[in-house]
Amino acid sequence: MSFRKCARFTLVMSILLTSWNTSATEASADSTPAQVCSEPGDTWERVPAASAGMNQDKVDEATTYAMENDSEAVLIFRNGCLVAGNAEDSKDTYQSWSIAKSVTSLAFGRAWALGLISPDDPVGAFFGKADAEHGAVTMRHLLTMTAGNEVQHLRDLNIVADVDRVHDALAVDLVDEPGKTWKYWQSGVALLAEAIGIAADMDFQQFVQEKLFTPIGIAPETWQWGRDYEGRTQGFYDLHLTAEAYGRLGELMRRGGMWKGEQLLSKEYVENALRPVDVYPCYGFLIWRSAVKACNDKDKLGLPEDMFQYAGRMGQLVTVFPTQGLVTVRTGSGFGSNSSDGSVSNDFAIERRFHDLVLDAIEDEPVESPHLPADPTFEYAVYAPWEFTAEARGVARPWFPAGLGPAGPWRSRAVIIGPAEVTPNGLNVYLELKCPPVGHGPVASCKGTASLDHGTEQHFEIARGEKADVWFPLDQPVTDERRFTARARTHDHTDEGTVSTKEVAVTRS
């Protein structure tokens, strides 16, 4: 080979190698995984947007857009890292409005994980003065807004008059069978908060601080929660938290209820809380699921369907996108009552634009959020037209509350169904049952019968606060995973008793 040819060959190879190395370096940079941060201690770990797999310019665009549209605090988290925001160190607290409902739900989840309460517990097991109809409403009905209550907005939304919310919840007319309709309700959530306190044998706010807030780093001096004139917590609103504390509550659910190695909220609660309600799939356990297709919300369709929100009046929002590892917090005085650029015209559309911008900033795992049209032929009839005639009575009701009906029969607490195990030969299943520690009535235990798939009933009697294994023989041995519907009925002074149900799975080892 001549010198000239050799030189040309060397030059070409040099260019090719340089190009290859540059491409490899860029590919390596592009494939660098987004940073993952552990749960925050006193403060959040803050990282550049690029380290979190996001585009800094687009993140800045999203936060600027939110601030130009009447926001007071904006925070964006990815994979547990603080990426952007203006209030991470602020001691200012912000009115939650209805975000408080979701926090009450989380408090319920914590009490459930501790074996203190169950979605199957009836109202009558906590409030002996409840009449038979109200006493049959369960915690699940209160958590999902399906108690069947009459709607009276002027009474229900009255935050000026001194209303005994527990009395109000127990006096409201029940016009539908529980579980069959969805109707937004304030006093029912206050009733739920009071039931949690009774089940925990302490003031509701004390329970929230000790069992929920302290483990995730929310200090007692950093928040307040309003009470009614009877001293009961307004579980449906009037919680004042810092913006970063709202972020912690969103992050807790993004992590599936796990915090620093402790399952604060059980997987069972998380699954139930985020499961859309059959009669109104925009809602779970006091948590909004508006992006699911079945909800048919024109302002949310096209967003990732696993999105969920704690949402309050005037655009108070904690929004979680689990698949994308995102949590956003926004507080303010009306989300975009005036759009800064004139491109969108209402609060919900501006909220959507904000989240479109945040999602568009993700670079490591790009996500599309197309605006999909709602089905114009389908809309959930949440309120019947005739129900608005009840408003005339609702005007005076805060000052002239209705009386309670005769107290209903004594209702027992629901036993909490725990895990099931199969014996080595696969022919027997042991089901754990727990009797809650706090109860009222003539019996200091949980006594009743349990069954699997409506098979042979087994009797149980368990002292308060104790657990017991109930043994069930099987007609066919378990050879692989097998699922059962467990049902436990606790005797009380009603014909039906208090019934708990749960799907359990066993696997033969």
Higher pLDDT, 87 or 158: 87
Higher pLDDT, 373 or 12: 373
Which whole number is the average pLDDT over 3-18? 44
380 pLDDT band (50/70/90 cuts)? confident
pTM of the model: 0.91
Higher pLDDT, 375 or 6: 375
Residue 11 has pLDDT above 80, yes or no: no
Domain presence at residue 71: no
Domain presence at residue 206: yes
* pLDDT at 342 (0 to 100): 47
DSSP percent split of the chain into helix, strand, coil, nearest 5: 30, 20, 45
Structure tokens at 470: 């109930």
* pLDDT at 400 (0 to 100): 65
Residue 398 has pLDDT above 70, yes or no: no
Which whole number is the average pLDDT over 17-38? 60
Structure tokens at 206: 């004390």
Which whole number is the average pLDDT over 485-509? 95
If we measure between CA atoms, which residue out of 405, 412, 501, 408 comes closest to residue 464? Answer: 412
* pLDDT at 392 (0 to 100): 53
Transcribe 54-96 into DSSP letters.
B-HHHHHHHHHHHHHTTEEEEEEEETTEEEEES-TT----EE-
Give the mean pLDDT of the chain: 90
Higher pLDDT, 13 or 457: 457
260 pLDDT band (50/70/90 cuts)? very high
Most confident of 307-311, 377-381, 403-407: 307-311
* pLDDT at 402 (0 to 100): 75
Domain presence at residue 41: no
* pLDDT at 509 (0 to 100): 75
Domain presence at residue 12: no
Residue 338 has pLDDT above 50, yes or no: no
Integer Cα distance of 284 and 119 in angstroms:
13
Same domain, 383 and 420: no
Same domain, 497 and 367: no
Q: Of 133-142, 352-361, 441-450, where does mean pLDDT reach its minimum?
A: 441-450
* pLDDT at 394 (0 to 100): 58
Residue 505 has pLDDT above 90, yes or no: yes
Q: Of 159-168, 169-178, 489-498, where does mean pLDDT reach its minimum?
A: 159-168
Domain presence at residue 318: yes
* pLDDT at 151 (0 to 100): 83
Residue type, position 272, single letter:
N
Same domain, 318 and 463: no
377 pLDDT band (50/70/90 cuts)? confident
* pLDDT at 397 (0 to 100): 63
Same domain, 341 and 448: no
Residue 118 has pLDDT above 60, yes or no: yes
- The 10 Å Cβ neighbour count of residue 215 is 15
Give backbone dihedrals phi and psi of 390, rounded to 5 degrees, phi first. Answer: -70, -10
Give backbone dihedrals phi and psi of 52, rounded to 5 degrees, phi first. Answer: -95, 10
DSSP state of 334: S
* pLDDT at 388 (0 to 100): 55
Are the C-beta atoms of 330 and 343 separated by less than 8 Å? no
**Domain holding 141: CATH number?**
3.40.710.10
Residue 334 has pLDDT above 80, yes or no: no
| Residue partners of 151: CB distance under 8 A and separation at least 6 | 183, 184, 185, 383, 387, 388, 390
Residue 9 has pLDDT above 80, yes or no: no
* pLDDT at 28 (0 to 100): 38
Same domain, 144 and 223: yes
Domain presence at residue 47: no
Q: Residue 487, SS3?
A: strand
Same domain, 253 and 310: yes
Which whole number is the average pLDDT over 483-500? 97
* pLDDT at 152 (0 to 100): 74
Residue 479 has pLDDT above 60, yes or no: yes
* pLDDT at 315 (0 to 100): 93
* pLDDT at 381 (0 to 100): 64
Q: Domain range spanning residue 180?
A: 94-396
Integer Cα distance of 4 and 51 in angstroms:
48
* pLDDT at 23 (0 to 100): 42
**Domain holding 444: CATH number?**
2.60.40.2950
Same domain, 432 and 384: no
Residue type, position 325, single letter:
G
* pLDDT at 7 (0 to 100): 44
404 pLDDT band (50/70/90 cuts)? very high
| Residue partners of 95: CB distance under 8 A and separation at least 6 | 237, 238, 239, 240, 312, 316, 331
Same domain, 389 and 439: no
Domain presence at residue 258: yes
Same domain, 172 and 272: yes
If we measure between CA atoms, which residue out of 335, 353, 334 comes closest to residue 343? Answer: 353
Higher pLDDT, 79 or 383: 79
Residue found under tokens 């860029």: 26
* pLDDT at 162 (0 to 100): 73
Domain presence at residue 173: yes
Integer Cα distance of 289 and 49 in angstroms:
27
Higher pLDDT, 346 or 399: 346
- The 10 Å Cβ neighbour count of residue 180 is 10
Integer Cα distance of 399 and 154 in angstroms:
12
Give backbone dihedrals phi and psi of 174, rounded to 5 degrees, phi first. Answer: -100, 115
Same domain, 158 and 119: yes
| Residue partners of 158: CB distance under 8 A and separation at least 6 | 398
* pLDDT at 27 (0 to 100): 39
Same domain, 265 and 172: yes
Same domain, 383 and 456: no
Integer Cα distance of 48 and 81 in angstroms:
9
Q: How many domains does the chain have?
A: 2
